[in-house]
Amino acid sequence: MKILLTGAAGFIGSHLAERLCARGDDVVGFDNFDAFYPRVVKERNLAGLRARPNFALVEGDLTAPGDLERAFTAAGGKVDLVVHLAALAGVRPSLAQPVRYADVNVTGTVNVFDACRKRDVGKVVFASSSSVYGADSVVPFREDDRCARPLSPYAATKRAGEMMAHAEHHVHGTGITCLRFFTVYGPRQRPDLAIHKFTRSIAMGKQIELFGDGSTSRDYTWIDDIIDGVVASVDQVARESRGHFRVYNLGGSKTTTLRGLVDMIAAALGKTPLVAWKAEQPGDMKHTHADVSLAGRELGYAPKVEISQGIERFVRWWCSEHGPELKALGLKVPTLPYHAPEPR
């Protein structure tokens, strides 16, 4: 297949591009290297891909329809399917920049649907989020929840993206699958996310800030499990001759408390965390937990990596990337493996 992949330089996008290229698909990546985190990190994400003959990257902005046109043209032939992952992804920064989030995540998403229609591409997979489950959602979250009370501007933009996707499908018959990812982690994880931030600070002997009383919990999903789900969904949409609208949760389907997460990271690093407790943050969800039975039945989705195993792998990756930095600071590089404490 020829696949246009927005957000290809990011954490999930670069892993997905690698998987698709490895199995022989042609991938045209699209990304504007948004400054949310440094370009140099995204260039590292792309390092392996740049060497592949079946990968090309077009630098451009979702909010500029002409840039998307360039990407379709660069594909040099008919694009079979678009995977739309590009977005402004953080929850907390969205509180301060709701207009930017709406521009990129809503207008940008509609621009993608528009460009697909003009190019007669009737198949799209769209990255949504567990954040769409809001104030009145019942845990574990199921796809038939109304999702009518989002807790942050980011959440509202992802829900709006899903709704625009439904409208696009209804009016034009486009086949669109919205995938609700539950906190994804693994090598190259976004540096703003908790696992990455805590690992860095604990390894460096710095204080970490924890919001609330530590009892909030998250459903964490190992990157390879997410990529399995995305690829299964790409193949499902690609097979069909008629367009369907679908929504799936992709999560690990188990929960870990904030305290439990910090314990695991600290144990993996062989350190004692220095914690500053802070008040709960507006916009944060108390709990996330995916019911993945629908994705299990229809996509064969079955997450495999337990959080204790995943944290060990993540910390191992982080140490391999940042060992020299630790040494330069006179700090010991932790030696793994270790025995993870039971998740709590």
Catalytic, 154? Answer: yes
Q: Which stretch binds ligand NAD (CB under 6 A): 7-15, 195-203, 206-214, 267-275?
A: 7-15
Q: Which stretch binds ligand NAD (CB under 6 A): 91-99, 183-191, 269-277, 336-344?
A: 183-191
Q: Which residue is nearest to ligand NAD (CB)?
A: 10
Gap between the Cα atoms of 178 and 196, Å rounded: 26
127 binds ligand NAD (CB under 6 A): yes
What contacts 229, CB < 8 A, 6 or more positions away?
A: 179, 248, 250, 295, 299, 301
In the chain, count H helices and then E strands.
Answer: 12, 13
Gap between the Cα atoms of 265 and 201, Å rounded: 11
123 binds ligand NAD (CB under 6 A): no
The region, left, alpha or beta by phi > 0 then psi within -120 to 50, assigned to residue 134 is: beta
Return the number of the residue (260 or 334) whose C-beta is nearest ligand NAD: 260
Query: Angle, nearest 10°, between helix axes 307-328 and 258-269?
Result: 50
Minimum CB–partner distance for residue 88 and ligand NAD (Å): 6
34 binds ligand NAD (CB under 6 A): yes
Catalytic site residue from 37, 101, 133, 154: 154
Judged by DSSP in three states, 296 sits in helix
Asked if residues 74 and 117 have their Cβ atoms less than 8 Å apart, the reply is: no
Gap between the Cα atoms of 28 and 146, Å rounded: 35
Gap between the Cα atoms of 174 and 199, Å rounded: 42
Asked if residues 121 and 237 have their Cβ atoms less than 8 Å apart, the reply is: no
Return the number of the residue (104 or 202) whose C-beta is nearest ligand NAD: 104
104 binds ligand NAD (CB under 6 A): yes
Q: Which stretch binds ligand NAD (CB under 6 A): 6-14, 229-237, 263-271, 304-312?
A: 6-14
Q: Which of 65, 108, 252, 260 binds ligand NAD (CB under 6 A)?
A: 108
Residue written as token pair 């140490």: 319
Minimum CB–partner distance for residue 256 and ligand NAD (Å): 14
According to DSSP, the residues that pair with 211 across neighbouring strands are 278
Residue written as token pair 């931030």: 197
343 binds ligand NAD (CB under 6 A): no
109 binds ligand NAD (CB under 6 A): no
Write each residue from 245 to 284 as x if it is in contact with ligand NAD (CB under 6 A), else as -, in one continuous string: ----------------------------------------
Q: Which of positions 59-98 make contact with ligand NAD (CB under 6 A)?
A: 61-63, 85-89
Size of the residue set binding ligand NAD (CB under 6 A): 28
Minimum CB–partner distance for residue 104 and ligand NAD (Å): 4
The CA-CA-CA angle for residues 23, 14, 184, to 5°, reads 105
Judged by DSSP in three states, 152 sits in coil
Per CB under 6 A, residues contacting ligand NAD are 7, 9-13, 31-34, 36, 42, 61-63, 85-89, 104, 108, 127, 129, 181, 183-184, 190
Q: Please identify every residue annotated as catalytic.
A: 154
